[in-house]
Amino acid sequence: MKSNFPKHIAIIMDGNRRWAKRNKVSEFEGHRKGIDSLINTVEIAGKMGIKYVTVYALSTENYKERSKEEIRGLLYLLKEGYDKYRQRLKREGIRLNFIGNFEKLPRASRFIISKAKKELHKGKKGELTIAINYGGREEIVKAAQKTIDNKDPISEANLNRNLYTASLPDPDLLIRTGGSKRLSNFLLWQLSYAELYFTDILWPDFDKNQLRKALDYYKLAKRNFGS
């Protein structure tokens, strides 16, 4: 029987730029406020008993299509956010993980990712996974190629073993803020049986009450499905 409370939630954090425009601040400040919302959400989720949180920080499409200036700003925030919240995450017992195609990221960004994973790998209370330069289709293709290279038969189990998220349980609930109702190439394999919750709330305004609304939706949805 499925639990009526999720073990793993996935989040598409949409709306930082619109929040910035609405509040008459720079897009950079909107993304910075989004990081604050992320850390607060991870802490609240942990206190509620949700062990795994996986978020979509930067898609492969955005990495290619957004201006170089915006991408530089986003990657700078990766370092700034880690420096700001490193001790807080360590204190809360949060393990930090990253998934995506890091080969095309600047060397400085790859260094921060490696450093963060190394310094926060001992967390036992929860795990935050950040998808950066990530695409679900690309992930599946890479998993299939790795399976073939290993001379293993193509099967669900073998593909799953070669995904970026092999060490994680599949998400039970997807939350997308910002009003759009699509997956946007996020965790296409892993979200096959997840409940999907969409809200018009912009990500920087997502708080404890908004998380509770998503969890209430999940609980009701679980009661409606047999297995």
- Catalytic site residue from 40, 62, 160, 185: 62
User: Choosing from 14, 16, 97, 133, which is the catalytic residue?
Assistant: 14
Q: Is 62 a catalytic residue?
A: yes
Which of 203, 188, 59 has the alpha carbon at shortest distance from 130?
59
CB burial of residue 142 (10 Å; 0-12, 13-18, 19+)? middle
149 is catalytic: no
Which residues, other chains included, contact 171 with Cβ-Cβ below 8 Å and sequence gap of 6+?
6, 8, 9, 10, 52, 54, 187, 190, 191, 194
User: Any idea of the CA torsion for 192, 36, 30, 66, to the nearest 10 degrees?
Assistant: -50
Catalytic residues: 14, 62
